[in-house]
Amino acid sequence: MNPFELLKNTQALKQQAESLQAELENLEAEGSSGGKMVTITLNGKFQMKSIKLDPICVDNRDVQMLEDLIVAAHNNAMENVQEKIKEKSGSLLGGMDLSSLGL
């Protein structure tokens, strides 16, 4: 194999990876629980961008339920971000299995 071709391919992959990282910053996914009583939005880096609470679930007598709903919505949002990352990175990685990376 020609070393210059390999270098060219490596540079192209690096550019694609940098482009993907920039896209991930702008990617957003929502997750919800309790029939959308709690909705969380995460970006492609799994950072929480927003949380929306239905006023009906804000009851100081049942804080445990609200905490559980928030955790469930966050987990759902993470799953949705992972799916979007798989979709975006599929062409770059050529169908490589990302499960070993936790994605």
Comparison of pLDDT for 60 and 8, the residue scoring more: 60
pLDDT > 70 fraction of the chain, expressed in percent and rounded: 83
Task: Dump pLDDT digits (tens) for 21-58.
Answer: 788 878 899 999 999 999 999 998 888 999 999 998 88
What is the pLDDT averaged over residues 85-103? 64
Nearest to 81 by CA among 23, 14, 19, 34: 23
CA gap 29, 8 in Å, rounded: 34
Total-model pTM:
0.65
What is the pLDDT averaged over residues 88-103? 60
